[in-house]
Amino acid sequence: MLIKLLKYDWKYSWRLLFLLNGALLLFSILGQLGSHLLQSGNYTVMSILAGMYILIYTLLFCGSLITTQIILIARYYRNFYTDEGYLLHTLPVTTGQKIWAKFINHMLWTLINILCLLLSILFLAGPGEWKYMFQLIPDTFSAFSKTLGIHPVLIALGGLLAIVLALSFMIFSLYFCISIGSLFPSHKVIASIVTYVILYGVVQFASLAYSIYSVFLVDRKIYTVNPSGIPVDPIYPSPAAGTFGVIYAVGMFLLLAGSAAFYGVSYYVAHKKLNLD
């Protein structure tokens, strides 16, 4: 049943999202080709064109990100809490399946969107830059690896986990806001937005607090200072590595717990507090 729901979620959302991301990629290729023209031609005209291009590119870049999210959240809201809910909620599927189908589709397209954003940067930069850009990846990983004393592959996996958990946290928080909004008898969408704003404020504050705390935790250990007060070269692996591990683990746990809490509320509202007009 979950697969079936997923199939239909994909079927009814892929086209628009594909166009959006495709447009971004095409435009970045256009930019790469156009950049060759920059050398020739009138300086002023080229500057104006380049400026316009950058403007449009930035709009497309940020726009694809925001629009992808809006399209997917709107799907959740429409399917769950408007007339389309008459169809969805009378299907012989569990509430969990309904939410997970939306989540998986959402996560999938968010990852595709991020991939397209990265690809668009690559395309815009042009093949000439690729060797340099791709070299950045192993360089970064080995730097991290040296500092933390952990195998690069583990770094990659850890990074991946962090991304997935962070995105889960974000997506479930959106579903949470919509679910809370649906509890209001009228102006559900506005209520959802207000919930989001409040939640965003709370999360930002909590993240800031956590970051500050982490810095304090680490600060003591990065640099070893001689009794004479002269800092010496960094030690590899850094003594801060262990602390970093703790910070990472706690951070991941918080993201996981937050995601679970948001999921729990969304589930409860859809299961026990449903009141379709």
Contacting residues toward another protein, per CB under 8 A = 1, 4, 8, 12, 83-87, 89-94, 185, 272-276
Contact 239, 221 (CB under 8 A): yes
Nearer to another protein (CB atom), residue 7 or residue 151: 7
Cα–Cα distance, 211 to 41 (Å, whole number): 50
Nearer to another protein (CB atom), residue 84 or residue 112: 84
Nearer to another protein (CB atom), residue 163 or residue 274: 274
Q: How far is the CB of 89 from another protein (least distance, A)?
A: 6
Q: How far is the CB of 4 from another protein (least distance, A)?
A: 6
Encoded amino acid at 122, one letter: L
Cα–Cα distance, 224 to 194 (Å, whole number): 47
Q: How far is the CB of 74 from another protein (least distance, A)?
A: 13
Q: How far is the CB of 90 from another protein (least distance, A)?
A: 5
CA atoms within 13 A on the CB side of 28: 22
Q: Is 149 helix (H, G, I), strand (E, B) or coil?
A: coil
Q: Would the CA dihedral through 5, 11, 15, 18 be positive or negative? A: positive
- The pair of structure tokens assigned to 30 is 């256009």
Nearer to another protein (CB atom), residue 5 or residue 177: 5
What's the Rg (C-alpha) of the chain?
Answer: 23
Cα–Cα distance, 79 to 14 (Å, whole number): 16
Nearer to another protein (CB atom), residue 219 or residue 277: 277
Q: How far is the CB of 85 from another protein (least distance, A)?
A: 7
